[in-house]
Structure 1
Amino acid sequence: MIAPLDWGLGHASRCIPIIKYLQKRGCKVIIASDGEQLNLLKKEFPGLEFVKLKGYNVRYSKYKRWLGAKILWQTPKILLRIRHEHTDLGGIVDKYDIDVVISDNRYGLHTNKVPCIFITHQLIVKSPFPWLQNFIQKINYRFISRFTECWIPDFEGKKNIAGLLSHPEIMPPGINKYIGPLSRFSREEKKGNVYKYFFVLSGPEPQRTILEEKIMLITPKLSGKILVVRGKPTEPESDIAPGLINIKNHLTTDEMQNAFLQSEYIISRAGYTTIMELLSLGKKSILMPTPGQTEQEYLADHLMQQQWCYKCKQDDDLLFHILKAEKFDYVIPGLDEPFYEKVIDDFLISLDCGV
């Protein structure tokens, strides 16, 4: 059973390559999720079995300065949901005869009945206050230690994607494995650019809508063909495409890969899954962290220092920075074949599941 966190679509998206590889190895996969994450995975895997598992349903503030306080206010609700999903898991394992649980950042999905894997790139959860960051890290490690293994989607060396987030001085207790980036996409022969700019909207409301409104104001001032994907998989598509702007609510994995490959610049949030996909395809990107999300702000800064991306803030003059990024000296890293496949193979062999 694979269960992604309901925190935007990124956790569900990065589970797709794992699901596909497990299917390739002859495993029966059951997906546990809810909301837009469930709808996304149903579109990708219509033939699989699904379990509706309520998410954490974190709400966000419209204003950056209140985001931390609003999330902190919801902590009791989140902890209660973690307790409930932990209680529910035993019955789900028995009902569906599950052999392994793979949890993408869902802290309650561990049980003594079967091996349980926890996937995260956030061993350190960034906070504006050092004392709070240390406190959260201790709680984070306490939860992670309850799982059989922790899989970290990043490179192990100095040149990496998540920096200190996935490379802390002290690792969590237990078995930790760097599995390399998780991406739905594979680097192919480059196609000719159809789009000059590809805007990928994602993440929680109301910030997703705020960014969409800002993008729609500047697109008429840009030259070249533009694609905008709104990140709304549950809404029906429309034929609205003003001028050179093509607008879609959602793209399938194959459609998204083609859109990435056919675009010169991708403008998106600094979500970790999006970053892994951009790097896997060797694309030039402009990253705009979600206001108040310290993780995204750190990731964008870390990657820009390595010249793997260009970064600006949502409140900045977006048109100015898009034009400035065209003169930025990108250094796109070359990525090897997916390493997570070997980690999965080794794990299946250890369970005597065969590969």
Structure 2
Amino acid sequence: MIDYSSASHKTILITPLNWGLGHASRCIPIIKALQENNYIPIIASDGIALDLLRKEFPYLKMLELPSYQIEYPKNSTYFKWKLFLNSPKMMVAIWKEKKIVSKWIDQYEIDGIISDNRLGCYSKRIPSVYITHQINVLTGKTTWITSKLHQKIIKKYSECWIPDVEKIPNLASKLSHLKKSNLNLKYIGPLSRMIKKELPIKYDLMVILSGPEPQRSLLEEKIKVELKRYKGEVIFIKGIIEKEQTKEKIKNILFYNFMNSRQLEQAFNESEIILCRSGYTTIMDLVKLGKKAFFIPTPGQYEQVYLAQKLKEEGLAPFANQDEFKIENLFELNKYSGLQTINNKIDWENLFEVFQ
């Protein structure tokens, strides 16, 4: 909690993108670090990202930002086309959030901003930090232009924090690294809310879902069918943020709609292997825990496909395309070493100097 004996309590606005739960969940350690260093966090987002953080920090001020209205098609072939069609709505939302943030700076006496991939959450009046692991945004043949556009946005911020290590080996490779750059980049190391604990194994398999709809639901149904042939003990977290937590035991599978950070950490540590998306936040959690995982990238999401391929080539984890996944694929894990722990201690006091 905040030490109110301190003379200075600067207020920092934290604004994660609402795209699945990854951006919000990796902001959790940042919010806790702000509190431990006597800053006052205010959280602003929308949708399930805001719902998740409201459950994690019920005592903090929560503000709502306009939705980017990112819609994911059932057919991943049309993903880029869908984004293109939605881009006018997204641009309007970015313009609106920029005006709202400018108003909030005066209304709530905000001293700094930390934006996790929200493109309009910055100000020239106060220090503004951008968090991303994608300096280069992979979109197939249009990667060069999406990367340049993203880098142009990053340049508007005081600093860009990259949750990866600068040297080789690293987690995101060409996503998070440039050969040459005039951007103010700081590699802060992997961000995770998890802590590795030596606990007895209760579950042979942990399934954890995340990401945008309808792909989250499509994968849930796919895995449920496949699990009918699985004999071990399973804990299945659907990744649906609702008002109340629910759990249900059906044969050998224990279902939860969602878990808070403490429960999730416990479940990870009590599970032998993990079946999940190859989202970067999930990968950072698995690295912190040193776990074996099987990945199913979100169809059409170039970043997740790239990360899954990279980890497979490095002999760390196998993957399968969503349509092709069979529960028998899990036997492939015997050929892979699992995610290797990166022991990095983030120097929060030094990082937060940008707000002084």
Range class of TM-score, shorter chain: over 0.9
1:120 counterpart letter in structure 2: T
User: Alignment partner of 1:240: what SS?
Assistant: strand
1:186 to 2:204 alignment: no
Matches within 5 A, 1:246-257: 246-257=254-265
Aligned pair partner of 2:94 in 73, 82, 95: 82
Aligned pair partner of 1:69 in 52, 77, 81: 81
| Matches of 1:40 and 1:4, distance apart in 2 | 11
| Residue of structure 2 in register with 1:288 after alignment | 296
Aligned length: 344
Aligned pair partner of 2:341 in 310, 326, 334: 334
Matches within 5 A, 1:196-345: 196-234=204-242, 236-325=244-333, 327-339=334-346, 342=347, 344-345=348-349
| Matches of 1:160 and 1:99, distance apart in 2 | 33
Q: How far is 1:334 from its partner?
A: 2.9
Q: How far is 1:323 from its partner?
A: 2.3
Report the TM-score when normalising by structure 1: 0.94
Change (3 A) 1:33 1:222: same
CA contact (8 A) 1:5 1:55 kept: no
1:255 counterpart letter in structure 2: Q
| Residue of structure 2 in register with 1:39 after alignment | 51
Between 233-242 and 160-169, the greater mean CA deviation after superposition: 233-242
Aligned pair partner of 2:350 in 332, 340, 346: 346
| Matches of 2:53 and 2:244, distance apart in 1 | 17
User: Alignment partner of 2:262: what SS?
Assistant: helix
User: Alignment partner of 1:14: what SS?
Assistant: helix
Tell me the alpha carbon deviations over residues 14-47 of structure 1, each in whole angstroms, 9 at most, x when there is no partner.
0000000111111111000111111110110111
CA contact (8 A) 2:111 2:355 kept: no
| Matches of 1:332 and 1:201, distance apart in 2 | 18
CA contact (8 A) 1:235 1:249 kept: no
| Matches of 1:329 and 1:200, distance apart in 2 | 20
Q: How far is 1:235 from its partner?
A: 5.4
- RMSD of aligned C-alpha atoms? 1.3
Tell me the alpha carbon deviations over residues 287-315 of structure 1, each in whole angstroms, 9 at most, x when there is no partner.
11000001100011111222232211111
Between 4-13 and 219-228, the greater mean CA deviation after superposition: 219-228
User: Alignment partner of 1:50: what SS?
Assistant: strand
Between 29-38 and 330-339, the greater mean CA deviation after superposition: 330-339
CA contact (8 A) 2:112 2:355 kept: no
CA contact (8 A) 1:200 1:268 kept: yes
Q: How far is 1:219 from its partner?
A: 1.3
| Matches of 1:205 and 1:26, distance apart in 2 | 37
| Residue of structure 1 in register with 2:4 after alignment | none
CA contact (8 A) 1:99 1:114 kept: yes
Q: How far is 1:242 from its partner?
A: 0.9
| Matches of 1:120 and 1:193, distance apart in 2 | 34
Tell me the alpha carbon deviations over residues 194-233 of structure 1, each in whole angstroms, 9 at most, x when there is no partner.
0001000111111111100011112121121001101011
Q: How far is 1:349 from its partner?
A: 3.5
Aligned pair partner of 1:168 in 167, 178, 185: 178
| Residue of structure 1 in register with 2:153 after alignment | 143
CA contact (8 A) 1:186 1:281 kept: yes
CA contact (8 A) 2:203 2:233 kept: yes
| Matches of 1:49 and 1:97, distance apart in 2 | 13
Report the TM-score when normalising by structure 2: 0.93
